[in-house]
Amino acid sequence: MEKPKVAVIGGGISGLVCVFKLLELKEQNKKDFEVLLFEKEMRLGGTIETLEKDGFTLERGPDSFISEKPWGVELCNKLGIQNEIIGTRNENRKSFIVRRKKLIPLPEGFYLVAPTQMKAFLRTPLFSFPGKLRMMMEPMVPRNSSDADESVACFLRRRFGNEALERVGQPMLAGIYTGDPETLSMTATMPRFRELEKKYGSVLKGLLQAAENKSEKLKEAGGPRYSLFLSFKRGMETLTRALAARLPQGTARLGAGIKEISRDKFSGPWRIVLATGQISVADAVCLTTSARSAAGFLNNTSQSLSKKLGFITYESVATVNLAYRRDPITHTLDGFGFVVPRTEESVLVACSFSSQKYDFRAPEGAVLLRAFVGGAFGREFFNRDDGELLDKVKKELAELLGIKAEPLFTVLRRYPDSMVQYRVGHLELVKEIENEVVKCPGLFLTGSSYRGVGIPDCIADAERTAARILDYLNRL
């Protein structure tokens, strides 16, 4: 009997982890099957893209992964690249928010929109006095007894007031999801705040309690401790390169864009149709591309699934890396970067001071900045041509940071329709999608479109999916 075949579509972090885990499970379970990875581009890594140029290490896509969710660090340990991990620079822990064209430091102890250190909070010029009073009243706001999802804006306005939403909540969330808080789902994007409200009746009370518990735990804990944000000495691509290096030869097919996947009357093997017209067959198919692409592949197989996948929406973003000499920049750059509220009407959504956040990003005497552009409120800017967009970014950075020289070089990278928007009801929609997928045996979906956008979430979901694929193969 021929051994079963699994086709994984998309060679970003989700696809690579899915294949890596499948190979690990194959070994552990002494189960014989073949795994093939189909990637449209001529490189693996997807959104994770590091570029080394003139002594600078640039991230075009993600620049960090968080340590709070352990799956990233666990994978690094497994791959033997834990010594490559770097934490953020201790001396520059501040973050800034733009207010009236100036950079204001986020007060110490601020957790998204929740102030946990009163002294620092009361001194900040970020909020008006009535705005501060309203935020401090959060513990007195009655808890919402309904389990129904609500928008992030609704939740933050209800618990902390409009000023907290506009001046901090919206820009902080935009730095992660580049979305509109009026449409983003609270349960899918900020589940922790919802849980704290449920458990303690107040986010602030819950955070203070959690901080107490954490300091107790830290006293007891051994082993290495990481900062919240992590990267690698030679950039984020260290992770995807290490995964790619573990794939046996012939596993990954590059330049292999998929056009369609189908199956005869829901039985027999899956047919994978490539853009070239070539056809490959597999017993199980795992789609790790965006839900939007998946909807296209499945249109002729399950219209109801394809339609539901099509309800998941995306925003386009671009990153601009700018390398400067340090001298002509007046600002102290003593932080990780800044976010910009939409009320500032800026081209910038956020900017990381990459070389201040991590070591090994710029040569001595130089600085690397990375601007984030586009998203729900920046579609018009995203659509401008390269020259216009770069000029606007450079001009605004020069004004905000007091930069008196042109950059040494810039690198613009556009990611069209790349930022998934978990809109209100997202988790319900994912459940409905899962119910449809069950009707297509041998079909699996993972990737950032469904159960978490962060790299550790993608890793965890891809690993779980690989385990489900093995389970399916065992039942064939």
Ligand X SMILES: Cc1cc2nc3c(=O)[nH]c(=O)nc-3n(C[C@H](O)[C@H](O)[C@H](O)COP(=O)(O)OP(=O)(O)OC[C@H]3O[C@@H](n4cnc5c(N)ncnc54)[C@H](O)[C@@H]3O)c2cc1C
Residue ranges binding ligand X (CB under 6 A): 9-15, 38-41, 46-48, 61-65, 257-258, 288-289, 293, 317, 319, 415, 418-419, 447-448, 453-455, 458
- Report in angstroms how near the CB of residue 355 gets to ligand X at its nearest: 16
What are the CA-CA distances from residue 161 to residues 114, 134, 167, 181 (Å)? 11, 6, 11, 14
Q: Give 11 or 115: the residue with its C-beta nearer to ligand X.
A: 11
Tell me how far, at minimum, the Cβ of 37 lies from ligand X, in Å: 9
Q: Which two tokens stand for residue 41?
A: 């581009």
Closest approach of Cβ 349 to ligand X, in Å?
A: 10
Cα Rg, the chain, nearest whole Å = 23
Token duo for residue 196: 């704290």
Residue 387 CB, nearest approach to ligand X (Å): 21
Please give the span between the terminal C-alpha atoms of the chain, in angstroms, as a whole number.
Answer: 12
Look up tokens 């998941």; give the residue.
312
Judged by beta carbon, residue 132 or residue 357, the one nearer ligand X is 357
Contact 426, 322 (CB under 8 A): no
C-alpha span between 16 and 296 (Å, rounded): 22
Measured from the CB of residue 213, what is the shortest distance to ligand X in angstroms? 25
Residue closer to ligand X by CB (options 48, 188) is: 48
Give 352-364 as a DSSP string.
E-HHHHSSSSS-T
Question: Exposed (0-12), middle (13-18) or buried (19+): which is 142, by Cβ within 10 Å?
Answer: exposed
Nearer to ligand X, 60 or 167 (CB): 60
Q: How far is the CB of 456 from ligand X (least distance, A)?
A: 7
Min CB(221)–ligand X separation in Å: 24
Q: Which two tokens stand for residue 105?
A: 């430091």
Give the integer Cα–Cα distance in Å for 43 and 10.
11
* Identity of the residue, 60 or 99, whose beta carbon is nearer to ligand X in the bound complex: 60
Nearer to ligand X, 59 or 283 (CB): 59
CA separation for the pair 14, 463 (Å, rounded)? 9
Q: How far is CA 367 from the centre of its chain?
A: 24
In whole angstroms, how close is the CB of 152 to ligand X at the nearest point?
Answer: 18
- The nearest distance, CB 289 to ligand X, in angstroms, is 4
Q: Which is nearer to ligand X, 161 or 456 (CB)?
A: 456
Task: Report the nearest approach of ligand X to the CB of residue 262 (Å).
Answer: 14
Residue among 180 and 237 whose Cβ is closer to ligand X: 237
Of residues 103 and 318, the one with the C-beta less far from ligand X: 318
Please, is 323 exposed, middle or buried when counting C-beta atoms within 10 Å of its C-beta (0-12, 13-18, 19+)?
buried
Q: Taking a C-beta distance cutoff of 8 angstroms, is the pair 213, 219 a contact?
A: no
Task: Please state the three-class secondary structure of 152-211 as a single string.
Answer: HHHHHHHHHCHHHHHHHHHHHHHHHHCCCCCCEEHHHHCHHHHHHHHHHCCHHHHHHHHH
Tell me how far apart the alpha carbons of residues 117 and 135 are, in angstroms, rounded to a whole number: 12
- In the complex with ligand X, the residue whose CB is nearer, 40 or 205, is 40
